[in-house]
Chain A
């Protein structure tokens, strides 16, 4: 794991996902200030429209990748015993994957 996921690659992922998320948040804020949804149908329609839902799924993918690099950094810094370090990283990996699957279900499952 160490040799493949080089320092530079992780750092790049963290930076690139950060830029995407920043742009998404700015876009989100701008939309909510200019044209906030006032009802469930408006909210649901906007969120589930293809471009917004795709952008949102990408946002969450970016968020999970960004969180992976960030929390991994914290673990690498403070957890020195190999057993705990690997254990926590594995837990982190599974946790973030689970969140990824959840967000796919939220945004791509058909709802009434």
Chain B
């Protein structure tokens, strides 16, 4: 192989990076969901502020907001929102505790990751029970 060939092969070195073939430990799932829920929450801030604004403007607009909660589709969205918020909150608490060395060792971290993943769903189910 000539020097030129070797230089060329260096330039086009392939990389193994198929995310479907790389293992995702439970903590990694918690983490990426934490990020995705964070983006979702940020995007939902304007609409939430709009609802807050409406609800404080006067009795009629307050009733408008209340009536939204009677719509089935809105309740469904609210339950999803509760899951998103609950997951982000629980994962966030897990991070805060890890920052002060609580549960930052691997076995504890795996357990807390499972707890966060399932806990968020549990809270959403509770909300579903209350709202539906």
Given known pairs A40-B62, A43-B55, A47-B56, the reply for A103 and B96 (CB within 8 Å) is: no
Report A's interface with B, CB cutoff 8 A: 15, 18-19, 22, 25, 40, 43-44, 47-48, 63, 67, 70-71, 74, 99, 102-103, 106-107, 111-112
Number of A-B pairs whose CB atoms are under 8 Å? 49
Let me know if B62 and A43 touch, CB within 8 A: yes
Q: Which residues of B contact A (CB under 8 A)?
A: 35, 38-39, 41-42, 45-46, 49, 52-53, 55-59, 62-63, 89, 92-93, 96, 99
Query: By the criterion CB–CB under 8 Å, are B56 and A44 in contact?
Result: yes
Contact across chains for B58 and A111 when beta carbons are under 8 A apart: yes
Residues of the B chain whose Cβ atoms lie less than 8 Å from the Cβ of A74: 35, 38-39
Given known A71-B39, A102-B49, contact A22–B59 (CB-CB < 8 A):
no
Q: List 29 A-B contacts (CB under 8 A).
A: A15-B99, A18-B92, A22-B93, A25-B89, A40-B58, A40-B59, A40-B62, A40-B63, A43-B56, A43-B62, A44-B56, A47-B56, A48-B56, A63-B45, A70-B38, A70-B42, A71-B39, A71-B42, A74-B35, A74-B38, A74-B39, A99-B45, A99-B49, A102-B49, A103-B52, A106-B52, A106-B53, A111-B58, A112-B58
